[in-house]
Amino acid sequence: MFVLNNGPDYNSFTVNTCTDFCDTTFSAYSEKNSFIVLHQNIRSLRQNFDALVCQLSSIHRWPDFIFVTEIWIYSSEINSYSIPGYNFFAFPNDKYSAGGVGVFIKSNLSCRTLSCNLASADTMEVNFVIGRVAFTIVCFYRLHSGPVHMFLTELDNFLQYKNANNLLLVGDFNIDMLEDSDAIDSYISFLSKYGLYSFLNTPTRKPSGSCLDHVIGRFTTPQSTFDCFNFDLDLTDHYMTGLAVQILNDRPMQSASQSRPFIDFDKLNDCLLLETWDEVFAALDASEGYSAFSSILKRHIDSCALDILPRSNKI
């Protein structure tokens, strides 16, 4: 179990890999002040919906959010799929029949769902509150035929205005996190610019042994625990992935008018490369040198900080 206490430490979490659901899978997560998010690349709701419901029927604590990608349905079919106790929201891709995203949300949860218009990915956003803490989940299905750099450009533009302290990105990104390449290193660095961390770094697709289904997030709520899951349910050639979160010490939500600073690390790197550090070298002792160094570094960090304002509700 990964614990957040007075600031995140993303070095000691564990991934619980299970072959099937059981009553003890989510037993540590009570209904109060907790939520469970699952994602499954379903590769056609028409073909695999019944099998999905059958798997869910074997557990006592049902997830709060069940995201599905590659739903392969049209808008006219949305009402054909229902699970008792859940509301179903979907954004099919009527232009690309093999795409689309959807989510089953427990009917007792008050949520806002939004479609996010990205040319390179089918995307949906869910905003909700647990206890007194606001969360945002964004689900992606990146079209595998499109260039990765196009998706990252769109994702960068999207995240610049995403002022959610507790943000979770899930879905089929069609980017292999296990690939040893400069491109993946750049992707991870790109995520870190926004305080995002990949919690799942194990294979999620059986034929290739690749990690295409990502669980990425940032959490600022103190004293919360969560587990990341990777289930091989044999529904499709993709595993089911997800995250369970228990809020142990909630706090009032941050005012929507407050901004959240992010650092433009590319700009900061350029500033530091151009810095002469004359004040540091001119210092008479180590203490004075450190003070000068700290002052210069803080000045550059402040100059490279981006105040990300709350995003408009309009898509």
DSSP 2-33: EEE-SS--TTS--EEEESS--TTTTTTS-STT
CB 168 within 8 A of CB 137: yes
State pLDDT tens for residues 46-67.
999 999 999 888 888 889 999 9
Cross-strand bridge partners of residue 115 = 124
User: In the prediction, which pLDDT does 125 show?
Assistant: 95
User: In the prediction, which pLDDT does 88 show?
Assistant: 96
User: In the prediction, which pLDDT does 86 show?
Assistant: 96
Q: What is the mean pLDDT of residues 239-261?
A: 66
Q: What is the mean pLDDT of residues 247-263?
A: 55
**Greatest mean pLDDT among 26-35, 78-87, 270-279, 281-290:** 78-87
Helix spans in the chain (H)? 45-56, 148-160, 182-193, 265-274, 278-281, 286-303
Give the DSSP letter of residue 60. Answer: S
Q: Which domains does the chain have, with CATH numbers?
A: 2-247 (3.60.10.10), 260-308 (no CATH)
pTM given for the model: 0.76
In degrees rounded to 5, what are phi and psi of residue 290? -65, -40
Q: At what angle do helices 182-193 and 148-160 cross, to 10 degrees?
A: 10
User: In the prediction, which pLDDT does 19 show?
Assistant: 57
pLDDT band at residue 70 under the 50/70/90 scheme: very high
Half-sphere exposure of residue 223, counting CA atoms within 13 Å on the CB side?
Answer: 5
List the one residue out of 7, 37, 78, 5 whose CA is nearest residue 214: 37
Look at 37-41, 208-212, 294-298 and tell me which has the smallest mean pLDDT: 294-298
State pLDDT tens for residues 143-196.
888 889 999 999 999 998 887 889 999 999 999 999 988 888 889 888 988 989
User: In the prediction, which pLDDT does 306 show?
Assistant: 58
State pLDDT tens for residues 230-246.
988 889 999 999 998 88
Look at 76-85, 155-164, 166-175, 248-257 and tell me which has the smallest mean pLDDT: 248-257
By percentage, how much of the chain surpasses pLDDT 90? 38
3-state secondary structure of 123: strand
Q: Is 45 a residue whose pLDDT tops 90?
A: yes
Look at 121-135, 219-233, 253-267 and tell me which has the smallest mean pLDDT: 253-267
Strand ranges (DSSP E) for 77-117?
A: 86-91, 101-106, 111-115
User: In the prediction, which pLDDT does 146 show?
Assistant: 84
3-state secondary structure of 169: strand
Q: What is the distance between the alpha carbons of residues 140 and 134, in angstroms, rounded to a whole number?
A: 20
Half-sphere exposure of residue 103, counting CA atoms within 13 Å on the CB side?
Answer: 30
pLDDT band at residue 137 under the 50/70/90 scheme: very high
